[in-house]
Amino acid sequence: MKLKFEEAISVPESERRSVADSIDFHTIEVEPQYTGARIEGDVVTLDFVKKMMEDFKNQKYLHKRYAFQIVLQTRELLQALPSLVDINVPNGSRFTVCGDVHGQFYDLLNIFELNGLPSEENPYLFNGDFVDRGSFSLEVILTLFAFKCMSPSAIYLARGNHESKSMNKIYGFEGEVRSKLSETFVELFAEVFCCLPLAHVINEKVFVVHGGLFSVDGVKLSDIRAIDRFCEPPEEGLMCELLWSDPQPSLGRGPSKRGVGLSFGADI
């Protein structure tokens, strides 16, 4: 009821000013006593990302000037992408797809320990649900975004059903961002999550999506490319099903246990 009331009195999406456009991180001063990772100029380097990850590992925070810089640069990169991104992996090269990280920063470090850091020679696709549930969602998302800024082709990011305002309110990300950074960052992340692509196709063969398939037959890749994704996920339709649907053991289609999207069998 509280959320519905807030929604009723809020400004409609179309009239809202982008919070990203109102931020100039260059004007934010870094106090002399700050000892954490620093970005020199506008370029996010591997040294910076390594230092930031080491700080996060020791549960230190990143200065909000650099956090703003990373998130705003990532937003620019993501905005330019289509809703369905094609990835080309040359013969003999490796490519790693990772499922939900859900705020487990130490698990993310473990993945990098076992499989190497993201780079052009060792690219990754993180397939949504970076945040919520775990206690280190902010550290996870800043690390993934920093790698994206460092080398856009080293890491691909897809939207999950948890990259949305309603989920972040309930499952912890919003509260975590508010306590570690500020209210402005809550709004900024919500904006940037709306820029994340919805699906990827690897070498014209492998379709990678956070949720699953559709309630209707005959959906083409061109239909997914045509989705205007720059919004909160709707409660039905292709974008909703891409984020929410699940496979089921039986054939055909069935209702989703989640109450959104659907369950689909091997024949679908």
* Six-digit token string for 235: 């409660």
CA atoms within 13 A on the CB side of 231: 11
Which has the closest alpha carbon to 126: 154, 168, 150? Answer: 154
| Token reading at 97 | 């797809």
N- to C-terminal Cα separation, the chain: 37
Q: Is 115 within 8 Å of 123 (Cβ atoms)? A: no
Q: Which two tokens stand for residue 23?
A: 């931020």
SS3 assignment, position 267: coil
Spatial separation of the C-alpha atoms in residues 201 and 31, rounded to whole Å: 44
Place of tokens 């990678």: 208
The verdict on whether 162 is a catalytic residue reads yes
Q: Out of 26, 63, 102, 162, which one is annotated catalytic?
A: 162
Nearest to 34 by CA among 59, 60, 9, 10: 60
Measured CA to CA, the distance from residue 243 to residue 199 in angstroms comes to 9
Place of tokens 């900024």: 188
Coil vs helix vs strand at 230: coil
- Across 254-265, b (16+ Cβ under 10 Å) vs e yields eebeeebbbbbe
Pairing of strands 199-202, 206-209: antiparallel
Rounded (5°) CA angle 58-103-144: 80
Residues forming the active site: 162
